[in-house]
Each structure stands twice: as C-alpha cells, then as structure tokens.
C-alpha cells in the first residue's frame, strides 16, 4: 500500500493539469448513503419519483420523498447537517494551492462546494436551488420554499430541484466544462465512483485517450480498475486523501 501511495503522490506532485472525478463513494464518510447497493437510497424509495415524466404527472407523489431526502439526510444545515470529509477538504486545499485545476463530480450533495472548491463541475446538478419548469426562475431550496405540498413558482409553474432527474439531459454547460477538463488533464484522480452511470462514466475514458494518468481511490474494484487505471489505491476516500496529502506535501 505504501508503495502505491508514494507512486500516486509523485504523479500528483508533477501533474500540470490535475483533476478529480468523484462519485457517491467520496461522500459515504460524510454520512450520505449511496443511491445504489445495500443500505442505498433506492432500497427505501422508488427511483421513479425522480423520473422527470413521473414528477411532472404526479408531483404530489414525488415531493414528500424529495423533502425527506433533501431537507433531511442531505441537508448541510445545522447541528446534524452533513459536512465535507477529509477527501473533499484535501481537494479544496490542493485547488487553493494551485495544485488541482478542477473537480468533476457526479454527486448532487454540494459537498465539494461546501469544502471550498471553486472550479467544480456539478455534472448532475445540485440541491441548493429549485428551478421553475415553466419560466426558468430559480429559488433557493430550503424549508421555506418547499413548505407547500407541491411547491410552485409565483407564475404557477412546477418547481423542480436543480439536479438532473432520470430522463433529463445533462446541463450543456456542465457537459462542455467536464469534457474540456477531461481532454486537458494529464492526471485524473477517480474517487468513489463505480463507472456505471453514463454519460458521466465516459469522462475518465476521454481523459485516458488524451494521455492522462488515471489514479483510482476506491475500497473495491470498479469497471475502471482493470481497463484504464494506472495506479489503484484500495482505501476509503478520507483515509486515502489524508495519507496522500502528507506524502504530496
């Protein structure tokens, strides 16, 4: 393990355009349950509630679960609120120090932004705001704006949380920014991502095709491990980044 960490730290130190690509695994140590797998969110809720068509046709069915999820265990507010962990924090520090250029995340929990990362591509959106499906107006997502059983805009339109629902396209700006970073990076660190959610999952392949070294931090092997990964660190995100930070200096 020590050897692998040293090798990764050396590669990170000499990178000219270091990027990170994160998935649900980076936030598990912050207390956010993964969407898939045992104990996952989709064991408790029907994923159909976050399908755009279902949401538009039956918003009264989707909203109670959305409120429970996003004002409950995904909330960063107050005492019990979720907080960034060492992995988010080290990435933010590296960016502030000029070492890391961008984070591309598939997560909607907003923890990279909460940790202080600035150049963050939130590929699947985030849950800080609501968008009106009729007029495009945006409001913050909080207790106040989601009081009604089915929250509506002042124009009467349906308000939808600002993350990408199933059956909805990736926001074009996010897609373009992520692809730019993936083409430009010479070293991409994959953190806690299984590589099964497309089109996001293709970004590390794009980086690899453009000559990047791929480092993977993941307690278990993913679809990437045997195919494109150069350096595999089989640790949880928080521990891996604490140790990498010490080694990178």
- Residues catalogued as catalytic: 124
Specify the residue, 1 or 155, whose C-beta has the smaller distance to Zn ion: 155
Range 70-77, long-range pairs (CB < 8 A, 24+ positions): 70/127, 70/141, 70/161, 71/142, 71/143, 71/146, 73/31, 73/32, 73/33, 74/32, 74/108, 74/109, 74/127, 76/109, 76/110, 76/111, 76/114, 77/142
Specify the residue, 3 or 147, whose C-beta has the smaller distance to Zn ion: 147
Q: Answer whether 218's CB lies under 8 Å from 192's CB.
A: yes
Minimal distance in Å, beta carbon 153 to Zn ion?
Answer: 3
Specify the residue, 96 or 137, whose C-beta has the smaller distance to Zn ion: 137
Minimal distance in Å, beta carbon 148 to Zn ion?
Answer: 14
Q: Is the peptide bond before 199 cis (omega within 30 degrees of 0)?
A: yes
Neighbour count for residue 61 (Cβ, 10 Å): 14
Question: With contacts defined by CB under 5 A, how many residues of the chain interact with Zn ion?
Answer: 7
Minimal distance in Å, beta carbon 64 to Zn ion?
Answer: 22
Specify the residue, 159 or 212, whose C-beta has the smaller distance to Zn ion: 159
Query: Going by C-beta distance under 8 Å and a sequence separation of 6 or more, which residues neighbour residue 160?
Result: 55, 130, 131, 132, 133
Per-residue x/- mask for Zn ion, residues 113 to 142, rule CB under 5 A?
A: -------------------x-xx-x-----
Per-residue x/- mask for Zn ion, residues 142 to 181, rule CB under 5 A?
A: -----------x-x-x------------------------
Residues of this chain that bind Zn ion (CB under 5 A): 132, 134-135, 137, 153, 155, 157
């Amino acid at each position: 393990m020590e050897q692998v960490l040293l090798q990764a730290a050396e590669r990170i130190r000499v990178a000219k355009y270091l990027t990170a690509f994160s998935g649900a695994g980076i936030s598990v140590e912050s207390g956010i349950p993964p969407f898939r797998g045992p104990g996952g969110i989709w064991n408790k809720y029907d994923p159909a509630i976050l399908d755009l068509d279902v949401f538009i046709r039956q918003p009264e069915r989707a909203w109670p679960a959305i409120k429970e999820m996003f004002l409950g265990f995904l909330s960063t507010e107050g005492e019990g609120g979720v907080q960034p962990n060492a992995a988010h924090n080290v990435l933010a520090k590296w960016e502030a120090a000029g070492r890391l250029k961008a984070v591309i995340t598939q997560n909607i929990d907003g923890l990279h932004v909460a940790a202080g990362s600035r150049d963050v591509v939130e590929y699947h959106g985030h849950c800080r705001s609501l968008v009106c499906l009729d007029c495009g107006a945006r409001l913050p997502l909080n207790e106040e704006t989601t009081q009604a059983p089915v929250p509506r805009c002042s124009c009467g339109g349906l308000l939808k949380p600002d993350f990408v629902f199933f059956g909805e396209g990736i926001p074009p700006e996010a897609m373009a920014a992520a692809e730019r970073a993936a083409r430009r990076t010479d070293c991409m660190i994959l953190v806690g991502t299984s590589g099964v959610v497309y089109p996001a999952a293709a970004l590390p392949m794009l980086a690899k095709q453009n000559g990047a070294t791929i480092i993977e931090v993941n307690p278990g092997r993913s679809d990437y491990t045997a195919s494109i990964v150069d350096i595999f660190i089989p640790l949880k995100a928080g521990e891996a980044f604490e140790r990498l930070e010490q080694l990178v200096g």
